[in-house]
Amino acid sequence: MSATPGERLPFFRLLVLAGAIFVSVSSEFLPTGLLPDIASDLGVSESRVGLLVTIFALTVVLSTAPLTLLTRRFSRKWLLVTMLGVFAVANVLAAVAPTYEVLAGARVLGGLAHGLFWAVAGPYVSLMVKPTQLARAVSVTTGGGSFAFILGVPFTAAIGNVVGWRWAFVAMAVLVVGFAILTVIFLPAVEHRGPKAPKVQTVTTETGSIRDVRDRSFIAVGIVAITVVLVATGHNLFYTYIAPWAIGVGGVPADSVSLLLLFYGIAGAGGLLLAGVFGDRFPRLTLNLMVTGLVVFIAGTALFGHGLVPAIVAMMLWSASFGGLPALFQTRALHGASARIRDLTGAVVTTAFNTAIGLGALLGGIVLDGVGLEYVPWFAAGVIATGLIWVLATDRARIAAHPAEAHRG
């Protein structure tokens, strides 16, 4: 049975889910902080190691929807636990991989688990809290993703610099097992299969017209998904190659990259906090300002982020702008979806994010090899600016697609 939400957030349970998300995201982005080390050890180019992020994300894109449909009848809690187990195995296989090809295979396995994990984890939050608490609850759980950039990626980068990149994967596997145990003990079983809805569900809008929410809510979710693809592609186009750019263009010492990533992650948590505070009250304004800031501060990083301290300051502003966006996107999609498609909404948003992650890594590698590292942030800013134009141009159509949620923005 689903937990009966009270006035207060089930904060500890949300933290447990946030921890599971932390190890999931840390596993996905672990190679970014160790990209030069992995490339050197396996004898491949940095752009080819960057493709490990693309391989992971492409696997998620191709597998999330089919796996979500195949597992709709299974317990949400035990699917989370199972996927965490697969993460642990994938990290161990990566740690012992003798070749690039084996490492890529381990990333495929991790991608299979990651897609289904997120398709379950996103809607799981909505089954634990009231609709009016959703932005705050999603901000708490998405905080696990932010802490992946505060602790997970810098921590594994530091381990890799000291004892080798393979031990970073081992450390991550141990963390995954720990959070799998916490999930078993503390997360509640939830009932995700609601009562069958009538073939046509209607609502009356303020103008008195009747709309079919079931069909049109797909439009609202689709608009959010395209927004995610555009904005997150631009972000990951630069972020995937943050270590090579910081060293090769920004003039940051190689042994200071983990420190740079630490401050980057802290700023992202600040952005997430802002999203949690203002996301329920001013959802459209908060999202639009953060996307605008993302464009401005990535361009600012390209112009002024040279030297350790300037790079830290510029990248913290960039990170703060992006930090709250995943929570805002997920909240917007969940509010825009009718109840019967919430599971699929989780799959759609996960697929959109991972399309963006993979496409961003791929495009960044093309820019790196084609015109050079110094141009990577400029291409990133351009893609995000396109996303901002899309957000502004489609806002009315998104709200009209699900008028029952129009007041939420």
Query: Is pLDDT above 80 for 197?
Result: no
For the stretch 266-324, pLDDT in tens is 898 888 888 878 877 888 899 999 999 999 999 999 999 999 999 999 999 999 999 88
Rounded to two decimals, the pTM is 0.72
d(CA 49, CA 34): 9
Query: Is pLDDT above 60 for 407?
Result: no
Query: Is pLDDT above 70 for 193?
Result: no
Query: Is pLDDT above 50 for 374?
Result: yes
Give the pLDDT band (50/70/90) at residue 211: very low
For the stretch 27-83, pLDDT in tens is 888 888 788 889 989 998 888 888 888 888 889 888 888 888 888 888 878 999 999
Angle at 272 between CA 398 and CA 301, to 5 degrees: 95
Burial of 70 (0-12, 13-18, 19+ CB in 10 A): exposed
CA proximity to 83, closest of 14, 9, 27: 27
Q: Which of 71-85, 120-134, 208-222, 232-246 has the highest mean pLDDT?
A: 232-246
Query: Is pLDDT above 50 for 261?
Result: yes
Query: Is pLDDT above 50 for 5?
Result: no
**What is the pLDDT, as a whole number, of residue 201?**
45
Mean pLDDT of 97-112: 93
Burial of 270 (0-12, 13-18, 19+ CB in 10 A): middle
Amino acid at 200: V
Share of the chain above pLDDT 70, in %: 87
Q: Which of 2-16, 204-218, 277-291, 328-342 has the highest mean pLDDT?
A: 277-291
d(CA 266, CA 305): 17
For the stretch 349-363, pLDDT in tens is 878 888 898 899 889
d(CA 391, CA 409): 12
**What is the pLDDT, as a whole number, of residue 341?**
67
In terms of pLDDT, which residue wins out, 208 or 221?
Answer: 221
Q: Which of 56-60, 79-83, 187-191, 202-206 has the highest mean pLDDT?
A: 79-83
Share of the chain above pLDDT 90, in %: 39
**What is the pLDDT, as a whole number, of residue 357?**
86
